[in-house]
Amino acid sequence: MFHNQSTKQRAKSVTHANRGKFLEHVIDMANTKYRNAGLADIRKIPTPVQITKDKGSQVEGRKEKPEWVDYAGVCNGRAVVFDAKETKGKSFPLQNLHDHQYELLRSWYEKGAITFLLVYFSELDKYYRLPFPPLQAAWQTAKNGGRKSIPLETFVEHASEAISMDGYTLHYLLPFIESRW
């Protein structure tokens, strides 16, 4: 995997404000390689900001409530939308996925887009691409009073592990590129 220091050391030193920046960096590097190879064009969706003061060369603002997921783009003629999350432990807490993110994934999935969660289990140093159907099943279970997290076993059984290979920091689109929709 792509690491300059051990993941456990990095995970302990990450502040709440910088949580997810490592994962974002790894994904952005992969996205640049996908674009340069002509295989896909996936972009990070910036957090919306409302400008409160404009002082010429200085601008002040506040973050607005986001209504999107982290990434969107196209691969082999199909829309791709996904959210990237990092978790410690051996399960993914569904509270880390906001309602608006789930609803966007559901809507796009129903319209034929490639939709998934890309989850980094930092203590295990493993990345999984969880397709929408098992996410939907877990979400409905939680909404009906059941388990509020997705256990690692679900990722092992229903997700694909995304790995570093062929010069990609994280080759998370490999199945979609190989299949040539």
Could you tell me if residue 141 is left (phi over 0), alpha (psi between -120 and 50 degrees) or otherwise beta?
alpha
144 pLDDT more than 90: yes
Extract the annotated binding site.
Answer: 70, 83, 101
Q: For residue 29, what are its two tokens?
A: 């590097």
169 pLDDT more than 70: yes
Residue that the structure tokens 């607005």 belong to: 64
Q: Where are the alpha helices (DSSP H) in 17-98?
A: 21-36
- Per the CB < 8 A criterion, the answer to whether 127 and 120 are in contact is yes
Going by pLDDT thresholds of 50, 70 and 90, the confidence category of residue 58 is: confident
Gap between the Cα atoms of 40 and 34, Å rounded? 5
Tell how strand 114-121 and strand 126-131 pair up.
antiparallel
Gap between the Cα atoms of 174 and 176, Å rounded? 6
- Per the CB < 8 A criterion, the answer to whether 142 and 162 are in contact is no
What CATH fold (topology level) applies to the domain 7-179? Trna Endonuclease; Chain: A, domain 1 (3.40.1350)
Interval 14-46: pLDDT, tens: 454 455 688 999 999 999 999 999 999 999 998
Residue that the structure tokens 């994934």 belong to: 105
Beta bridge partners of 130: 117
Q: For residue 80, what are its two tokens?
A: 């791709």
Residue ranges covered by each domain of the chain: 7-179
pLDDT at res. 5: 43
Gap between the Cα atoms of 68 and 62, Å rounded? 17
Q: For residue 3, what are its two tokens?
A: 């690491």
**How many CA atoms does the CB half-sphere of 26 hold within 13 Å?**
26
pLDDT at res. 137: 97
Cβ neighbours of residue 130 closer than 8 Å, sequence gap 6 or more: 116, 117, 118, 119, 150, 154, 155, 158, 159
- Mean residue pLDDT of the chain comes to 87
- Per the CB < 8 A criterion, the answer to whether 97 and 117 are in contact is yes
Q: For residue 121, what are its two tokens?
A: 């289990």
Extract the annotated binding site for Mg(2+).
Answer: 70, 83, 101
